[in-house]
Amino acid sequence: MLQKIQETADFLKSKISGSPKTGIILGTGLGNLVTQITDKTEIPYETIPNFPVSTVEGHSGKLIFGKLGDVEVLAMQGRFHYYEGYDMKAVTFPVRVMKAIGIENLLVSNASGGVHPDFEIGDLMIITDHLNLFPEHPLRGKNFTTLGPRFPDMSEAYSKDMIAKAKAIAVRNNIKVVEGVYVGTTGPTFETPAEYRYFRTIGGDAVGMSTVPEVIVANHSSMRCFGMSIITDLGVPGKIVEVTHEEVQEIGNKVQPLMTLIMKELIKEI
């Protein structure tokens, strides 16, 4: 694994000209932020050695190196989900590579179902913490101390400093944000009403199928993390209706520009 990480990092370093400290993982269909990146170098995943091979035909996504404002960033447009069949080492491999390239701050986005009774469709949620309900842990197995400790601390999995900065940015720009705990689960089914109730009962505010594995590995690698969810549907008693992937994407599209603004401003301040 160590050799593969290094190989991939060396390949990417040979393709990019700067030394970005900020990495971004954009949820499926949440590529709006990429339109703001200038001086772009785009590297399709299928051309990157050791990157997981897409299970979906055609577009698996790409890495984009460039500038957001004045800041160099390395963005992943599209991620690898556990439900697609990848094991957790594959899902989180890009985070390992980001660390090896020199990334220190990781920003992640996703779409999720709100289970907090006050949440509304289209809300932007700053992730304050998570609950890991994936059946496989990305750090299970031999630990390489060069990558991180055997028993990593998770007391501040999402940087309090970045959360405070993002909230201030939202206030300054008149953007409504909510805060909450993200429950990471496998999917690919959306939840039954009983499952939504369960996630609320155990302390969740929103539920989705990603983010948690990447944030665990980023913490293992001593990276600072910040995450935002777009609440695309509600798993709240009385408000549960049929959910489709298309609706999730449609709501995601509408709200993306606000999330982009917050992330862009935040990147300037970290």
* Relative orientation angle of helices 88-101 and 212-220, to the nearest 10 degrees: 40
Which stretch, 136-144, 147-155, 206-214, 259-267, contacts ligand HPA (CB under 6 A)? 206-214
Residue from 232, 259, 260, 265 that binds ligand HPA (CB under 6 A)? 232
Task: Compute how many residues bind ligand HPA; rule: CB under 6 A.
Answer: 14
Residue from 209, 216, 217, 228 that binds ligand HPA (CB under 6 A)? 209
Sign of the C-alpha dihedral computed for residues 130, 260, 62 and 267 taken in this order:
negative
Query: Is position 113 an interface residue for ligand HPA (rule: CB under 6 A)?
Result: yes
- DSSP state string for 178-203: EEEEEEE---SS---HHHHHHHHHTT
Which stretch, 51-59, 62-70, 110-118, 147-155, contacts ligand HPA (CB under 6 A)? 110-118
Which stretch, 47-55, 168-176, 184-192, 262-270, contacts ligand HPA (CB under 6 A)? 184-192
- DSSP state string for 51-118: PPPPSSSS---EEEEEEETTEEEEEEES---GGGT--HHHHHHHHHHHHHHT--EEEEEEEEEE-STT
Would you say 265 and 170 are in contact if contact means Cβ atoms under 8 Å apart? no
Smallest distance from the beta carbon of 258 to ligand HPA, in angstroms?
17
Query: Is position 227 an interface residue for ligand HPA (rule: CB under 6 A)?
Result: no
Query: Is position 214 an interface residue for ligand HPA (rule: CB under 6 A)?
Result: no
Smallest distance from the beta carbon of 37 to ligand HPA, in angstroms?
25
Looking at beta carbons only, is 36 or 249 nearer to ligand HPA? 249
Of 78, 124, 79, 125, whose CA–CA distance to 254 is shortest?
Answer: 124
Q: Which residues bind ligand HPA (CB under 6 A)?
A: 111-113, 187, 190-191, 207-209, 232-233, 235, 243, 248
